[in-house]
Structures are given as C-alpha cells and as structure tokens.
Amino acid sequence: MIPGAFDYHRPTSVNEAALLLRQLGEDARPLAGGHSLIALMKLRLAMPEHLVDLSGVDGLKGVRREGDDLVIGAMTTQHDIIHDAMLAESLPILRETANQIADPQVRYRGTIGGNVANGDPGNDMPAVMQCLDARFRIASPDGEREISARDFYHGAFDTELHRGDIVTEIRIKAPPRGHGYAYEKMKRKTGDYATAAAAVILTLEGGRCARASVALTNVADTPLWAEEASKILAGSDLGKETLDRAAAAAEAITNPASDLHGPAEFRAKMAGVMLRRAVMRAQARAKA
C-alpha cells in the first residue's frame, strides 16, 4: 500500500498541463480526483514517474448551458454534480448515478472527468455518457477535438486519449423535457463497483416508447452502449415481451469477468435484470 516514487507537477493552465504531459511522455499521468489512480499506485499496479495534478488548472470546473448543450467541466466533482440545480432539472440521471458512486468522501474528491477518462470498466459515468451520447472535449498541444463517448473506449484503461491529451469538458445534449431515466446498479455494498448496472433514457409518446437509449456498466472491459436493445425498446409498448427481447439483446453483448462478485454468467444475467428494472423505473418517471 506504498506507492513507488514519482515527481509531482501542478500546472495552472490546460496548455501548460498538456505540454507537460507530452514532454514527460508515457511515464506521466494526469491526476484529477485521484480516487482510481492513487489506489492503483498504492497497489503498485500503476507506477507513473510523474503526476500532473489538474486541480490547479483554471476553468475546468462547473456546469453551464451552451445552446442545447449542457457543458460540464472535467474537474467538477461528483458532489458538485449531485448538488447542481441545472443538472437536477435537465439531466437528473447524472445525480442518480453520482449518488451511487462509492461514498460521500470519494464523491467530494472524485471528478466526472477522471471517472470518464480513466477507462476503468468499473466506473459508472462512462456508460451513462454513452447512454446520453455525450461528447468529450479533449485538449492537447496540437489543439482541441471532440470524441463521442460511444467511440472513446477501446479496452480496460485503453481509450482514445494519447500522450498530452486532457479531457477538459463533457458536452451533453439534454434529452427532451419529461424524459424518463434510471441508473440501476447492483452492488454488494457501499463503495463497491457494480456487479452490473444499466443506464436508461427514454421518452414516451402516447403511452409508447418513442426513443430509448441503454448502456451497461462493468460487464465487459469497456462500457457498452446497447444499440440493439435500444432499438428494440424504441417504438415499443415496453411490455414484457419487449423487455425480454431487450434484456436478451443486452446480455448478448456482455463479456464480463468472473470475480468475487460473481461468475461471468451471473453478471451477464444481472445486466439484463438491471436493464429491465431501469426501463420500468424510467417508464414510470417519464411523462407521456
């Protein structure tokens, strides 16, 4: 539980941070809230030689509205997400998800940017971002670019980020007013990663499901946007037969690891159960 030696850097601008990361190379890691990275370092599963702490960088915190988009600074903490009035109004699924991340102490430090950028399949926000079709704004010494959350993840801790890249903000087009939402997370205890979890956003029109999006947490080495399941739900009556098919479609794309929280076949099935429950809760919340 004692990390290896590292140098600590504390830049004050995005540009300075990106240059530092580029210059220091593969042995440097950006540090946001530290609640994944520091734990890995204590186990010596990660041994970066340089930590570039982003907490002194201006302009990476807070939530604002830009046209149809909600823009969340990468260094916004989970605690801030939970207590943000604009998000509560327009994107309540973020609050519901953040509330299920670890415990209050972790949520005071842990950031949404760190959660989505680290590439840990156990993190909750990546699937929610895929469900919402969020875009990540990335700064680097070569300039800025945007990547869809659905294209961002390649494997465990393997993402679109390259040397010198920093996720600076998350842009989400808010779903229509009256949408239904749910993040259903199965976990054994407070602080655990999900055994399986499902994020659902849907809209109802005349009692039927007009649009739907489903994504899954921790049942593969990346978050999974369940495209097929989403299609099955959209336009349906959300009846039992539809849910059975959607759950089966979702289970089919999972590839979970077996661990002490259960064998693979259990976790795959739980993805389906979480999906059903998330859909039912989202449906109950949606205004037709």
Partner 1 sequence: MSVQTVESERAARAEKLEGLGCKRKRVEDIRFTQGRGNYVDDLKLPAMVFGDFVRSPHAHARILRIDASRAKALPGVLAVLTAADLKPLGLHYMPTLAGDVQAVLAEDKVLFQNQEVAFVIAEDRYVAADAAELVEVDYEPLACIVDPFKSLDPDAPVLREDIKDKMEAAHGPRKHPNHIFEWSVGDKQATDEAFEKAEVTIKELIVDHRTHPAPLETCQCVASMDKIKGELTLWGTFQAPHVIRTVVSLISGLPEHKIHVIAPDIGGGFGNKVGAYSGYVCSVVGSIVLGRPVKWVEDRMENLSTTSFARDYHMTTELAATGDGRLTAMRVHVIADHGAFDACAAPTKFPAGFFNICTGSYDIPTAFCSVDGVYTNKATGGVAYRCSFRVTEAAFAIERAMDVLAQKLAMDPVELRMKNFIRPEQFPYQSALGWEYDSGDYHTAMRKAAAAVGYEKLRAEQKEKRDAFLRGETREIMGIGVSFFTEIVGAGPSKNCDILGIAMFDSAEIRVHPTGAVIARMGTKSQGQGHETTYAQIIATELGIPADNIMIEEGDTDTAPYGLGTYGSRSTPTAGAATAVAARKIRQKAQMIAAHMLEVHEGDLEWDIDRFRVKGLPEKFKTMKDIAWAAYHDLPPNMEPGLEAVNYYDPPNMTFPFGAYICVMDIDVDTGVAKVRRFYALDDCGTRINPMIIEGQIHGGLTEAFACAMGQEIRYDEHGNVLGASFMDFFLPTAVETPVWETDYTVTPSPHHPIGAKGVGESPHVGGAPCFSNAVNDAYAFLNAGHIQMPHDAWRLWQVGERLGLHH
Residues within the interface to partner 1 (CB under 8 A): 1-2, 4-5, 43-44, 103, 186, 188-193, 195, 259-263, 266-267, 269-270, 273
- Least distance (Å) between residue 2 CB and partner 1: 4
Nearer to partner 1, 13 or 190 (CB): 190
For residue 231, which of 217, 258, 210 has the smallest C-alpha distance?
Answer: 210
Nearer to partner 1, 100 or 148 (CB): 100
Nearer to partner 1, 94 or 102 (CB): 102
- Least distance (Å) between residue 172 CB and partner 1: 29
- Least distance (Å) between residue 190 CB and partner 1: 5
In sequence order, what are the residues at sequence separation of 6 or more whose Cβ sits closer than 8 angstroms to the Cβ of residue 209?
A: 202, 203, 233, 234, 235, 236, 237, 238, 283
Nearer to partner 1, 107 or 267 (CB): 267
- Least distance (Å) between residue 103 CB and partner 1: 8
- Least distance (Å) between residue 264 CB and partner 1: 10
- Least distance (Å) between residue 182 CB and partner 1: 16
In sequence order, what are the residues at sequence separation of 6 or more whose Cβ sits closer than 8 angstroms to the Cβ of residue 191?
A: 102, 103, 106
CB atoms within 10 A of CB 212: 27
Nearer to partner 1, 47 or 210 (CB): 47
Nearer to partner 1, 9 or 261 (CB): 261
